[in-house]
Amino acid sequence: MIRRLWQLDCLRGLAVLMMLVSNFLFDLFYFTAILNPASGFPAWLARATAGLFVLLAGVSLTISYTRPTARRQGFKKYLRRGAGIFALGMLITLATRIAVGRQYVVFGILHLIGSGIILSYPFLKHRRFALPAGLLILLAAPFMGSLRAASGWLLWLGIQSSGFVSVDYTPLVPWFGIMLIGIALGGFVIPAPSPMPRSRLIRLSALCGRHSLMIYFAHQPLLWTGFWIWQSLGAR
């Protein structure tokens, strides 16, 4: 039996910290118009955060596939897992449609990871194709990004419609390419059991990594509540 890797949990915990800082900066702009998140350090941090989450998702998929139970369950396991995460993404779509209007999340990080888990199954079975396919998707990204569609039906693929804006947009091109690269890298991660260091920082990071999805859902309502209280007190 392959145990959960605390090293991956720590890296995921780092991604959680990056997400908290990134979204704090975005909310700061949303409520105060300070520090434009579309350029400079905030924009770089947002992309780096998404990239780390997606890369680790790919690595984790490879490690998961090495488990005998995963192979016995076959595609159903990944279909069920991917569909569940995609459904959570649709909840984000609904919530942001209510909260921010036309800038709502059409295809964000959870939509990507959910659909990516499903689409990645052939590459888990034939991992030697994951890296070249991932690189091809990354190479195709500039061309896909230059295209424009009359409607939003191809947003999931990376083809935007005119005037499209969203608070979180993570299409399959190029981001699924990063997941495939993570799947390829996962083959070099040897899940040998090793004790977690006693460092409180490492243990806290691993704990956050294990509960990253819960933190993802909880942090924005807390941030928005904090900013709302701050604005209310400042208006008095």
DSSP sequence for the chain = -PPPPHHHHHHHHHHHHHHHHHHHHHHHHHHH--S-TTSHHHHHHHHHHHHHHHHHHHHHHHHHHTSHHHHHHTHHHHHHHHHHHHHHHHHHHHHHHHHHGGG--SS-HHHHHHHHHHHTHHHHHTGGGHHHHHHHHHHHHHHHHH-EESSSTTGGGT-EETT---S----HHHHHHHHHHHHHHHTT------PPP--HHHHHHHHHHHTHHHHHHHHHHHHHHHHHHHHHHHT-
On the question of pLDDT at 144 being above 70, the answer is: yes
**Residues 34-44: tens digit of each pLDDT:** 888 888 999 99
- φ, ψ dihedrals at 3, nearest 5°: -80, 160
On the question of pLDDT at 112 being above 60, the answer is: yes
Mean pLDDT of the chain: 92
pTM of the predicted protein model: 0.93
Most confident of 21-30, 91-100, 170-179, 194-203: 170-179
User: Residues 5, 189: contact at Cβ < 8 Å?
Assistant: yes
User: Residue 3: which pLDDT band, with cuts at 50, 70 and 90?
Assistant: low
Cα 101 to Cα 184: distance, rounded to the nearest angstrom: 38
